[in-house]
Amino acid sequence: MFLTPGSLPFEKLWDMFFRGNEGRFSVYIHASKEKPVHVSPYFLNREIHSSPVTWGAFSMVDAERRLLAYALKDPDNQHFVLLSDSCIPLHNFDYVYNYLMHANMSFIDCFVDPGPHGNGRYSTRMLPEVEEKDFRKGAQWFTMRRQHALLVMADSLYYSRFRDYCRPFADGKNCIADEHYLPTFFNLVDPGGIANWSVTRVDWSERKWHPKSYRAQDVTEIVFSLNLWNGHMKLEVIFNGNFGQYSFSC
């Protein structure tokens, strides 16, 4: 599930990733600003009915739910992966597919942040449904089992609390709903069913509003290599020489 403003700059790379695995995946694209131009048949005519999305606004959560709603229509879809136009795979398809499909949990980032950009965003207007002790933060990008996707789509109680009271500059707080709604929701309804971490690597070490962007000068940190593997081109991306637990990078 790709959440993007328009065309996907890494679509050729994703084409290589998906190639030869037809029938094992479905693609859904929420393009919030302009209709994408595609170079891969896997992405052709895969756009869903989209609405404008504003960074930091609750429309981000609505876009995620819209993607889930469309993907859930196919009963064969059992695990749902949210990605952006900046994401790339870190392993080949078989590795990622087997890792996710054999997991007994969803990979949703969820942690307590006592600082101003964590619990400092909590509003007492969320009471009694959401108490501050249950308020959580996490990265936006997730992978989710079908049972959890159904729970998200069935939720109206917590959804309405975050829609109304977790907004930029609401009540003097700069609450970013896509960083808090799902982590808090699953902390309340199924804390044992999530991993509390994401399989998507995002570098927030610069402590800015947006994560680090990798550019040409970062070549010493990121090593790209293309190899012919089982008749297909395989891309390997190594961060500091270690894949770690990650399946994707954004």
Q: What is the pLDDT of residues 68-87, one digit of tens each?
A: 999 999 999 999 999 999 88
The H or E element spanning position 170 is: strand 168-170
pTM of the model: 0.85
- Residues 137, 226: Cα–Cα separation, whole Å: 36
Name the region of 203 (left: φ>0; alpha: ψ -120 to 50; beta: rest): beta
- 94 falls within a domain: no
Per-residue pLDDT reduced to its tens digit, 138-165: 988 999 999 999 999 999 999 999 999 9
205 assigned to some structural domain: no
Supply the range of the domain harboring residue 49. 2-85+105-199
Residue 98 lies in a domain: no
Residues in the chain: 250
- Structural domain count of the chain: 1
Q: Is residue 33 part of a domain?
A: yes
Name the CA dihedral angle for 17, 67, 123, 155, rounded to a multiple of 10 degrees. -120
- Whether residue 162 lies inside any domain: the answer is yes
Separation between Cα atoms, residue 94 and residue 228, nearest integer Å: 16
